[in-house]
Amino acid sequence: MHEIEYRNLLYFNTSCSPPVLVDEINDAGWNLRLAHDVQSAQNILLKYTPSVAIAQFDDTSGRLSVPIENFFRNVDQVEWVALIPKNAMSNHHIKQIISESFYDFHTLPPDTEKLLATLGHAEGMALMKRDNPASRQLPLPLQPSEDEMVGASPQMLDLFKNIRKVASVDAPVLITGESGTGKELAALALHERSARHNKPFVAVNCGSLPNGLIQSELFGHEKGAFTGASQRKIGRIETASGGTIFLDEIGDLPLELQVNLLRFLQEKTIERLGSTEKIHVDVRVLAATHVDLEAAIKDGRFREDLYYRLHVLKIKIPALRDRKGDIEVLAKYFFNKFFNEKRRNVKGFAPSALQLMNHYDWPGNVRELISRVRRAMVMCERRLITPEDLDLDRRNGERQVTTLESARNSAEMEAIRNALHKNNNNLALTSRMLGVSRATLYRLMEKYSLMPKP
């Protein structure tokens, strides 16, 4: 790993004035990456892992906004250098933030030589901390993924911090959270920030495979191991060799396979079906569940010993309704992401639409938010997305008594969503499971915005 090659620098301009010394900083060998809000600053940190960041402040006598303040307090993988107007030192609030979270500061306009020297020192300090295993910084290099994890709420900043921490340890991690909160995305983010990031990330949904197949899928089989096994098959655990295996819906793993998995976690060896040869495999196990495993243990559906093995480290992703600060950030993020897909004369969200989204309960979490935004962008006939385009049940947000019809609709939507999930979005299997024709299923999926991504 050549950390020195990474000279990315985050320039977080919280002020209304233009950034300063941009050319001079670039000429000094820094790759300057500008951000004007917390979300884009967060994305730059995740994607480019700079070791140094500049924050420019306005001539302000007031407080910083809460998200910005939380951001400075929670981001600990960079050394911050502040650029402040001369009179800012009389602002008690800014002084406190700088003294708590910053490496150094310069007054505006800064002296070029002095600022460049500070950036160099800040980088040296960052690298020194990075080399110190106790600081558990983000290991470099990071391979940025197309699907970045977005969030600006204190809960998500905390989560990002935890992901970085557990990424540097090699123990199993149990990721919990309601459906659609981003468990798979978190698993991937974790893998990408771990020392195994150059090796495979293999995801297996334990709930979507028929019982008879899951053993050979996970552990592989030898030729002739069972009727129909005409060839040797390498299992998913072996395929992930050197990397990470992500066992999604671990609560659905049949009991007899839980024993095999436990053995693998203890001995780091597997046996292919039809063979007694023990094969050593070096794989890190991440597991996720949206069911309460402790309740499953009480019901005798999940082995307690396996549970304790799996949840050495734990990551809990909060429901979207419990991190209100993220709703708007995510809605705008996905709006921008889908913007280029179709004819676009929609320019954004009407304030009333944002307000409705902030009050809504989001039972389907981020996944539901994505499909609502996508739908609204298609349906919208004006310049701004209205509450009607979002087609959210307004009563849901206010927790009032629902009509029978809306209760029926929610139950129907939930059943379809679960069945699609169980069957990996296979429509033939899903319609059979639900006992409706494919045409009906298709119509209902449209009705509830459950269409898979094109």
Interface characters, 421-440, with ligand ATP (x: CB under 6 A) = x-------------------
In the complex with ligand ATP, the residue whose CB is nearer, 180 or 243, is 180
Scan residues 135-164 and list those touching ligand ATP (CB under 6 A). 147, 149-151
Sheet holding 201-205, edge to edge: 201-205, 244-248, 284-289, 173-176, 313-316
Q: In the complex, what is the shortest distance from the CB of residue 153 to ligand ATP, in angstroms, rounded to a whole number?
A: 10
In the three-class reduction of DSSP (H, G, I as helix; E, B as strand; rest coil), residue 53 is classed as strand
Interface characters, 218-257, with Mg ion (x: CB under 5 A) = ------------------------------x---------
DSSP notation for 263-276: HHHHHSEE--BT--
CB 246 within 8 A of CB 184: yes
In the complex with Mg ion, the residue whose CB is nearer, 79 or 192, is 192
**Under the criterion CB under 6 A, does residue 13 sit at the interface with ligand ATP?**
no
Q: In the complex, what is the shortest distance from the CB of residue 93 to ligand ATP, in angstroms, rounded to a whole number?
A: 29
Q: How far is CA 201 from the centre of its chain?
A: 15
Interface characters, 277-306, with ligand ATP (x: CB under 6 A) = -------------x----------------
CA dist 353 and 382 (Å) reads: 13
- Strands (DSSP E) contained in 207-312 are 220-221, 233-234, 244-248, 269-270, 279-280, 284-289
Which residue minimizes CB distance to Mg ion?
184
Instruction: Select the binding partner of residue 177 from ligand ATP, Mg ion, none (C-beta < 5 to 8 A, by kind).
Output: ligand ATP
Instruction: Select the binding partner of residue 367 from ligand ATP, Mg ion, none (C-beta < 5 to 8 A, by kind).
Output: ligand ATP
Q: What are phi and psi of 360, to 5 degrees?
A: -75, 155
Scan residues 327-366 and list those touching ligand ATP (CB under 6 A). 366
Beta bridge partners of 273: 221
Q: How far is CA 120 from the centre of its chain?
A: 32
Instruction: Select the binding partner of residue 153 from ligand ATP, Mg ion, none (C-beta < 5 to 8 A, by kind).
Output: none
CB 36 within 8 A of CB 124: no
Instruction: Select the binding partner of residue 379 from Mg ion, ligand ATP, none (C-beta < 5 to 8 A, by kind).
Output: none
CB 125 within 8 A of CB 131: no
Q: In the complex, what is the shortest distance from the CB of residue 216 to ligand ATP, in angstroms, rounded to a whole number?
A: 23
Q: What angle do CA 155, 202, 263 make, to 5 degrees?
A: 95
Q: In the complex, what is the shortest distance from the CB of residue 219 to ligand ATP, in angstroms, rounded to a whole number?
A: 23
In the complex with ligand ATP, the residue whose CB is nearer, 396 or 418, is 418
Residue 425 zone, left/alpha/beta (φ > 0; ψ -120 to 50; rest): left
44: nearest Cα among 121, 120, 142 = 142
**Under the criterion CB under 6 A, does residue 370 sit at the interface with ligand ATP?**
yes
- Strands (DSSP E) contained in 211-364 are 220-221, 233-234, 244-248, 269-270, 279-280, 284-289, 313-316, 348-349
In the complex with Mg ion, the residue whose CB is nearer, 85 or 182, is 182
Instruction: Select the binding partner of residue 116 from ligand ATP, Mg ion, none (C-beta < 5 to 8 A, by kind).
Output: none
Instruction: Select the binding partner of residue 221 from Mg ion, ligand ATP, none (C-beta < 5 to 8 A, by kind).
Output: none
Interface characters, 175-214, with ligand ATP (x: CB under 6 A) = --x-xxxxxxx-----------------------------
CB 142 within 8 A of CB 188: no
Q: In the complex, what is the shortest distance from the CB of residue 421 to ligand ATP, in angstroms, rounded to a whole number?
A: 6
Number of residues that bind Mg ion (CB under 5 A): 3
Omega prior to 172 cis, within 30 of 0:
no
In the three-class reduction of DSSP (H, G, I as helix; E, B as strand; rest coil), residue 280 is classed as strand
**Under the criterion CB under 5 A, does residue 184 sit at the interface with Mg ion?**
yes
In the complex with Mg ion, the residue whose CB is nearer, 178 or 238, is 178
Q: In the complex, what is the shortest distance from the CB of residue 367 to Mg ion, in angstroms, rounded to a whole number?
A: 9
User: What are the residues binding ligand ATP (CB under 6 A)?
Assistant: 147, 149-151, 177, 179-185, 290, 366-367, 370, 421
User: What are the residues binding Mg ion (CB under 5 A)?
Assistant: 183-184, 248
